Amino acid sequence: MNPAERSRTQIAVLDTGGQYCHLIARRIREQGVSAEVLPSATPAEQLRAFKGVVISGGPSSVYEPGTPTVDPALFSRGLAVLGICYGMHLMAQLNGGRVERGERGEFGPAWLEIDDPDVLFSGLERRQPIWMSHRDAVTSLPPGFRRLGHTDTCPVAAMADEARRLYGVQFHPEVVHTRRGAELLANFLFRVCGCERDWDPKRQLEALKQRIREAVGDRNVLFFLSGGVDSTVAYTVTIRALGPERVHGVYVDTGLMREGETEFVAAVFESLAAGNFFIEHAAEEFLSALAGVRDPEQKRVIIGEKFVDIQERILERGHYLDGHWILGQGTIYPDTIESGGTAHADVIKTHHNRVAGIQRLIEANRIVEPLTSFYKDEVRELGRALGLPETILSRHPFPGPALAIRCLCTDSSEPVRRLEDGWILPVRSVGVQGDSRSYRPVLALEEFPAPGEELHDEATVLINRNAGINRVVALVASHTALGRMSTHPSEISPERLARLRRADAIVRRLAHESSFDRRIWQFPVVLIPVGDAGRPDSVVLRPVDSVDGMTANAVLMERGLLDTMSGELLSLDGVAAVFYDLTHKPPATIEWE
């Protein structure tokens, strides 16, 4: 943001490393208020032009040395300040309160009880659902503060010093799971800070084109395209900024794509008739590089580095290395945030656009990424402003590493293990708990009950009760009893990829025919190496609803459709069982790896 724009921005969001830091800024923009993310240590003097400040959550503990902090003078400059989660902990500690580690973490839905209504909760119920993600808690209020609310396990869930316009909440109002979070933020913005509506996303397109021109200069841009929303919009807006003769696009067929994906992508860009587009077939290279690899982070790194290798080869072959060409990518905010892209963020997963080879290109000023300030829904709005068809903009997101991260692998044979609450599947998946990465086994319930929201609540309760897991699934149907299943040594092989590709095609077809795909944001289909000797794999269904991928709700399917889907999936060779993922994000990520 240039200095002129900054001088007009109303809210500063101080980044303490929370996975939702930029989501806070986005939620503020949704209220029509301009917001900018700044480092947590920004001097208070530099913040005085803002109408208010929000301190984000983060993965650290305020009582540990070297953790992110804010300028203590922030609280004595008359600025309105809202601290969220870790931000509330900083507010408490720096004003004379006490923060300590709780007896157990609290991750997921909770009920907030309002003890003392205040302007922050104006118009809201005395009891309301919220979303928690924390281990530490305020155990002693700072002088001048009073408690506004609590939960069953958190004695201080909200606090305030109204005289100084200082507010803190332990929960996350920026996530959709806090159902009245938007109203709470609006109360802070308009009732406490006195903001005016000055932000209109539709006006960002021309400014975005200008930023592209400034970043690219007199060079040209080569995009490596996936056919998804992000890269298509980035490619198109760059063409509109620079002209079609200066922008080329290439789609790399990695051999890890969904059924019919390459043909669809080719048709998309032929219909757009924009720029210069061609396809690079590289399936053998990717599959050879992934042979024998089982670790999910290593998979992502190999795929990212292999992309760089192929990019370099194409650059050389197409004479793109003469200094007049740079690379373009469709990287958006969640890609950089979950990869530790903010100042203090914990790495949740390594994104293929942020591996070492890509970082070297960034450092060499050889990449332009037009969309790194936007979230998925904002990218779709940009696409609509560009006139792109809904067949592109309404597509479900598909990960860059493609089916490689939905084909889980293991190097051991280990039986499913019985617990009081269910069965432990000896495979691990990625989660996000307390703004930190977790990589833990999965708890499987033996039966899939009738659909109901209580299933999701129960999944969260089970995860909070069992510290060694971060995800809960339910068995839908199987050829083999759950207690007789085990893992088997497995890797990414053509046979397993074909099995996953067919399973994904079945799910996509039935979801589309039933219109279920219109109710959800994304539907990952995951292959896990859990089964028996004759049927070594199982399929996990993971339909979720989200706005931008930063948080997500698991969505339940009607039983008739689920039975039809599981019946077709169990007819596939090598498939032992079908499971259904019941877990929200957080504590689980959308993808399993």
437 shares a domain with 320: no
Is residue 304 included in any domain, yes or no? Answer: yes
410 shares a domain with 385: no
* Low-confidence spans in the chain with pLDDT less than 50: 1-6, 338-341, 348-349, 351-352, 354-355
> pLDDT of 87-143, one tens digit each?
999 999 999 999 998 776 667 789 999 998 889 999 999 999 998 877 899 999 999
CATH number at residue 67: 3.40.50.880
Separation between Cα atoms, residue 311 and residue 351, nearest integer Å: 17
Separation between Cα atoms, residue 369 and residue 252, nearest integer Å: 18
254 shares a domain with 391: yes
On average, the pLDDT of the chain sits at 88
**pLDDT score for 171:** 95
Torsion sign over Cα 524, 530, 532, 534: positive
Query: Is the separation of the CB atoms in 230 and 330 below 8 Å?
Result: yes
Is residue 589 included in any domain, yes or no? Answer: no
Burial pattern 363-385, b for ≥16 Cβ within 10 A else e, equals: eeebbbbbbbbbbbbbbbbbbeb
Separation between Cα atoms, residue 553 and residue 178, nearest integer Å: 12
Instruction: Write down which residue in 344, 365, 398 finishes a domain.
Output: 398
Query: Is the separation of the CB atoms in 572 and 590 below 8 Å?
Result: no
Joined together, the tokens standing for residue 172 give: 């996350």
Is residue 95 included in any domain, yes or no? Answer: yes
Tell me the sheet residues that pair with 549: none
**pLDDT score for 553:** 87
Is residue 545 included in any domain, yes or no? Answer: yes
347 shares a domain with 454: no
354 shares a domain with 309: yes
- Concatenating the DSSP letter of every residue in 484-506 gives G-EE--B---HHHHHHHHHHHHH
Query: Is the separation of the CB atoms in 387 and 380 below 8 Å?
Result: no
Separation between Cα atoms, residue 281 and residue 399, nearest integer Å: 18
How long a stretch of residues is the chain? 593
Torsion sign over Cα 239, 315, 295, 226: positive
**pLDDT score for 313:** 84
- Concatenating the DSSP letter of every residue in 54-120 gives EE---SS-TTSTT-----GGGGGSS-EEEEETHHHHHHHHHTT-EEEEEEEEEEEEEEEEESS--GG
151 shares a domain with 100: yes
Is residue 530 included in any domain, yes or no? Answer: yes
88 shares a domain with 30: yes
Query: Is the separation of the CB atoms in 146 and 96 below 8 Å?
Result: no
435 shares a domain with 340: no
127 shares a domain with 79: yes
Is residue 593 included in any domain, yes or no? Answer: no
CATH number at residue 267: 3.40.50.620
Q: Catalytic positions, please? A: 85, 172, 174
Backbone angles phi, psi at 163, to 5 degrees: -60, -35
Residue found by looking up tokens 């070594």 in the block: 536
208 shares a domain with 171: no
538 shares a domain with 469: yes
Instruction: Write down which residue in 192, 222, 247 finishes a domain.
Output: 192
176 shares a domain with 28: yes
Q: Helix or strand or coil: residue 142?
A: coil
Torsion sign over Cα 407, 410, 413, 419: negative
Please state the pTM of the whole predicted model: 0.71
CATH number at residue 500: 3.30.300.10
Q: Which domain holds residue 560?
A: 406-581
Domain tally, the chain: 3
Strands 417-419 vs 422-433: parallel, antiparallel or unpaired: antiparallel
Is residue 574 included in any domain, yes or no? Answer: yes
Joined together, the tokens standing for residue 216 give: 């690219």
Is residue 410 included in any domain, yes or no? Answer: yes
**pLDDT score for 276:** 86
